[in-house]
Amino acid sequence: MRTILFSLFGALLLMTAGCSKNNAGTPTPDSGKGGSLARFTIVGNYMYVVNSKQLKAYDVSTPGAPVFKNEVSLGWDIETIFPYDGNLFVGSSTGLYICSLADPASPKLAGQVQHLRACDPVVATGNTAYVTLRAGTGCGGTQNALMVYDVADIRVPRMLRSIALSGPYGLGVSGTALYVCDGINGLLIYDISTREQPNLEDRIYGHDFRDVIPHRGVLIAQLANGVAFYDISRPRQPALLSTLLH
């Protein structure tokens, strides 16, 4: 019995090893995931792109031949796009826009909220959206902060809270953990068991953290000089798995 189990285990190992050596981008059931700083995002058979002024929608049901569908003019200095729960959260240097994907080929501006001038990626979970504001030479403004918005009604997002930070970049959510990249000031881990009240629990130093993707139990961190992988089977206690630097 034991030998059978072992050989089965061995065969499984060989199979997984074989899969891992496939070519880049081999089709998998996994539809992929980007970070919070992205200007590209794919939702189902549509791809959404933000340039500095517009949100554009493409039909990518045949991925090799995208078909332009529609565009929405949103204002100035648009920077990031984040899909959540049938909506697109669009970050610009002057505010947060929420576009409905009720018709995925034709996103419609549903709500917006203005904030002080800064660079600002967005993530959302439940009825709460988290936005980081980063001030600086390029971004303008003087405020570095984590902003918490109630988006239960996307037509009227409400600011709930603002927490001062050093110079934040991207952010991500997994379960009751909110990860905020504060550049060289570390990766901040907030407990968001109470969604509207992030509570700073831990901080990981040692890298210039720019963005994160929580994905299938692993937190992938974008660093200024590479990537780092953390096990987040316990989301609020990331455990370093490896780094790939330079």
Partner 1 sequence: MLRIIFPCLLILLVLSSFYPVYKAPAPEIVDGYVPIYGPADHPSLKIGAAAVRPIVNGGKIFVIGDKLFQVEVGAGIHIIDYADRQHPEKLGFLTVPGCTEVALKDSMLFTNHYGDMVVLDVSKYPVVEEKSRMLNVFPEVTPETPPERMVYYECVDRSKGSVIGWEKKKVSTLNCFFR
**Binding stretches for partner 1 (CB under 8 A):** 16, 19-21, 23-28, 30-35, 37-42, 47, 49, 51-52, 56, 58, 60, 63-66, 68, 77, 79, 93, 119, 137-140, 210-211, 213, 215, 218, 220, 222-227, 229, 231, 241-242, 244-246
Least distance CB 38 / partner 1 (angstroms): 6
Query: Which lies closer to partner 1 via its Cβ, residue 3 or residue 23?
Result: 23
Query: Which lies closer to partner 1 via its Cβ, residue 2 or residue 27?
Result: 27
Query: Which lies closer to partner 1 via its Cβ, residue 117 or residue 195?
Result: 117
**Contact call for residues 135 and 98 (beta carbons, < 8 A):** no
State the burial class of residue 198 (Cβ atoms within 10 Å of its Cβ: 0-12, 13-18, 19+). buried
Query: Which lies closer to partner 1 via its Cβ, residue 23 or residue 73?
Result: 23
Least distance CB 189 / partner 1 (angstroms): 19
The number of beta carbons lying within 10 Å of the beta carbon of residue 86 is 11
Main-chain phi, psi angles of 12, to 5 degrees = -60, -45
Provide the residue type at 68 as one letter. Answer: F
Query: Which lies closer to partner 1 via its Cβ, residue 60 or residue 113?
Result: 60
Query: Which lies closer to partner 1 via its Cβ, residue 47 or residue 159?
Result: 47
Least distance CB 161 / partner 1 (angstroms): 26
DSSP assigned state of 39: S
The number of beta carbons lying within 10 Å of the beta carbon of residue 97 is 25
Containing 79, the helix (H) or strand (E) segment is strand 78-84
DSSP assigned state of 183: B
Least distance CB 159 / partner 1 (angstroms): 23
Least distance CB 184 / partner 1 (angstroms): 13
- For residue 12, the cross-strand partners are none
Least distance CB 85 / partner 1 (angstroms): 19
State the burial class of residue 70 (Cβ atoms within 10 Å of its Cβ: 0-12, 13-18, 19+). middle
Q: Tokens for 206?
A: 């040692």
Least distance CB 179 / partner 1 (angstroms): 14
Query: Which lies closer to partner 1 via its Cβ, residue 40 or residue 205?
Result: 40
The number of beta carbons lying within 10 Å of the beta carbon of residue 5 is 9
State the burial class of residue 8 (Cβ atoms within 10 Å of its Cβ: 0-12, 13-18, 19+). exposed
